[in-house]
Chain A
Amino acid sequence: MAEPRFRPGDTVRVMKAYPLGHVRTPYYIRGHTGVIERVCGSFPNPEELAQMRDGLPAQPLYRVRFMQNEVWPDYRGNPADVVEIEIYQHWLEPA
């Protein structure tokens, strides 16, 4: 199991990468900065599982909270609206 690098409250940036295959990081959030909402535990990497490999070491999974205003520049609504997304550790870097 890979060691968790982040804790709730940490600011993280989602990597802006475009690998092929079964990726669980939505396009729209790549390159954006958010805050760790909670640590969900560790799970076999789905990108590896999709290739019929074992997905180990398991990757820590986080729920990351993003401000809608930051994700969509033309967002209309309460400035405190958020979108929360599950993202695997190997997609995150400290910000």
Chain B
Amino acid sequence: MKDQGKYQALTYYQLMEVSLRELLVEKGLVTEQQVAATVEDMRRRTPERGARVVAHAWTHHEYKARLLEDGTRACEELGLDVPALKLVVVENTPQVHNVIVCTLCSCYPRMLLGIPPDWYKSRNYRSRMVREPRAVLAEFGLKIPRQTRIRVHDSTADMRYLVLPMRPAGTRGWSEERLAALVTRDSMIGVALAKQPRSK
């Protein structure tokens, strides 16, 4: 391994990972190169991919309609390959706020958002988001007005979900690239709004 830093004992799961990986390589089932390439692929997937999809939908009405109709196909249109992912895109409006959770484990649209944040996998988030979404969102600093309806999506099986946040006011005429910079990971999970243009 490349890490030459000071010695630290492996944790239980690190030890398990190393043992399993070395065994798979020794048995000729995978190569070290394949493992490294897969890890590299996972690291390359970041929320910028999802942000590109959102910014394109904000600027193209017909694309937005196709995205809401069939998320997987609409991502492929942008050259984003989302294998084994049935993507359901849900749209935030002034009347409806959507938020994603997986109460059973940590299902997450990794192809578009990368590796999930630790809190997404926490028991706290998973058990409370379905039970008291308004309280949990408030803890993220997001106060949802009482008259706005909340749709919680529990990602329990084969679908994956992406929230299409509302386009912030004051961004008329902005390029897709500039808009994409306002689209945060949290806004695509539904625990935040897209950034306001002046809030930097």
Number of A residues near B (Cβ < 8 Å) is 26
Q: For the complex, what is the distance from the CA of A85 to the CA of B158, rounded to whole Å? A: 11
User: Residue on B with the closest CB to A22?
Assistant: B104
Interface string of A29-53 (1 = CB under 8 A from B): 0000000000011010010000000
Alpha-carbon gap, A25 to B103, bound state (A): 10
Per-residue CB contact flags for chain B residues 138-172 toward chain A (1 = under 8 Å, else 0) read 00000000111111111111110000000000000
- Interchain CB contact under 8 A, B149 and A26: no
B side interface size, CB within 8 A: 23
Of B149, B155, B157, which contacts A80 at CB under 8 A?
B149
**With A and B bound together, what is the CA distance between A19 and B88 in angstroms?**
29
Report how far A25 CA is from B133 CA in the complex, Å: 20
Say whether A87 faces chain B, with CB atoms less than 8 Å apart.
yes
Is B130 part of the contact surface with A, judged by Cβ < 8 Å?
A: yes
Judge whether B3 is part of the interface by a CB distance below 8 angstroms.
Answer: no
B158 close to A78 (CB less than 8 A) = no
- Determine the chain B residues whose CB is within 8 A of the CB of A88 once the complex forms: 157
Q: Whole-angstrom distance from the CB of B90 to the nearest CB of chain A?
A: 9
Question: Which residues of chain B (33-66) have a CB below 8 Å from chain A?
Answer: none
Query: Contact: A83 with B134, CB < 8 Å?
Result: no
Q: Which of B103, B148, B152 contacts A84 (CB 8 A)?
A: B152
Are B134 and A76 neighbours in the complex by a CB distance under 8 Å? Answer: yes
| Bound CA span A75–B133, Å | 10
- Say yes or no: is A18 at the interface (Cβ < 8 Å to chain B): no
B132 is an interface residue with CB less than 8 A from chain A: yes
| CB-based contact A78/B104 at 8 Å | no
* Per-position binary interface string of chain A over residues 6-37, scored 1 when its CB falls under 8 Å from any chain B CB and 0 otherwise: 00000000000000000011101000000000
Q: A24-B104, A40-B86, A40-B159 are in contact. Are A83 and B154 (CB under 8 A)?
A: yes
Chain B min CB distance to A24 (Å): 5
| CB-nearest residue of chain B to A82 | B151
Task: Knowing A26-B104, A80-B149, say if A85 contacts B134 (CB, 8 Å).
Answer: no
Q: Given contacts A24-B104, A28-B103, A40-B86, is CB(A77)–CB(B156) below 8 Å?
A: no
Closest to B157 in A: A86
A15 → chain B closest CB, angstroms: 15
- Tell me, rounded to whole Å, the shortest Cβ–Cβ distance linking A75 to chain B: 8
Q: List 12 A-B contacts (CB under 8 A).
A: A26-B104, A28-B130, A61-B159, A63-B159, A71-B130, A77-B146, A80-B149, A81-B133, A81-B150, A83-B152, A84-B151, A86-B156
5 nearest CB pairs, A to B: A86-B157, A85-B154, A83-B152, A81-B150, A80-B149
Q: Which residues of B contact A (CB under 8 A)?
A: 86, 88, 103-104, 130-134, 146-159
